[in-house]
């Protein structure tokens, strides 16, 4: 069985709901990701064109 530690963590582009302070964003997650916290640090945000 392959380890998932080295797989990319980027899933899909999602809508940013609001900016929280200077370093965090709340995003809209689909139902299958409902077990994840929906606030992410700005350092892991990627621009989607």
Q: What is the mean pLDDT of residues 9-38?
A: 89
Instruction: Please state the domain extents for the chain.
Output: 12-49
Distance CA 3, CA 12 (A): 21
| pTM across the whole model | 0.68
Answer yes or no: is pLDDT of 13 > 70. yes
* Residue 20: its H or E element: strand 16-20
pLDDT at 2: 67
Read off the DSSP letter of residue 40: E
The helix (H) or strand (E) run that includes residue 26 is strand 24-27
Q: Are 25 and 42 in contact (CB under 8 A)?
A: yes
């Amino acid at each position: 069985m392959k380890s998932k530690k080295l797989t990319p963590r980027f899933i899909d582009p999602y809508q940013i709901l609001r900016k929280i302070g200077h370093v965090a964003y709340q995003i809209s997650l689909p139902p299958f990701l409902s077990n994840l916290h929906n606030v992410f640090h700005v350092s892991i945000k990627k621009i989607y064109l």
